[in-house]
Amino acid sequence: MLGEQMGEETGKVTGFRVIDPAGPQAEVSIHTKGKILGTEYQGRTTYTSAVQAGGFLFGEGTGVYMAADGMAVWKGQGSGKFNPGGGVSYRGCLHFLTATGSLSKLAGMAAVFEHSTDAADNVSSKLWEWK
């Protein structure tokens, strides 16, 4: 069951590297700022994404949220599609592996996400607790 929205962030793609042109598969890094469970953080994420036979995308990644007095580390997966004007849109799930300080409530939590990137490499994401 989905709970309330627990977080939201915006940011920028900071790196893009093609790691398999035959796939094609790419590695993407992003830097974000946001708020989760009322705590402000800065985030860093790196994920790989590959175009699948049906034309959709499948990605896997890891990330860290760094608050003034704690941090949380997560792993996630999602399916996506190319947006008509450029960029991509993903839906998936994150699993919080460790969390400390003001983010300690996240440890062991799962969350579903919506993530979008536009043609100018701006990113935005929203998270909901998966109870």
Fold of the domain built from segment(s) 2-130: Porin (2.40.160)
The per-residue pLDDT for 23 is 84
The per-residue pLDDT for 86 is 94
Reduce the DSSP state of residue 80 to 3 states and report it.
strand
Task: Express each pLDDT in 71-129 by its tens digit.
Answer: 999 999 999 999 999 999 999 999 999 999 999 999 999 999 999 999 999 999 999 99
Residue 17, judged by CB atoms within 10 A of its CB (0-12, 13-18, 19+), counts as exposed
The per-residue pLDDT for 22 is 87
Reported confidence tier of residue 67, pLDDT bands at 50, 70, 90 = very high
Taking 90 as the threshold, does the pLDDT of residue 1 lie above it?
A: no
Question: CA separation (Å) from 74 to 18, 61, 80, 83?
Answer: 23, 8, 19, 26
Instruction: Identify the helix (H) or strand (E) that includes residue 116.
Output: strand 110-117
Reported confidence tier of residue 14, pLDDT bands at 50, 70, 90 = very high
Task: Express each pLDDT in 17-63 by its tens digit.
Answer: 999 998 899 999 999 999 999 999 999 999 999 999 999 999 999 99
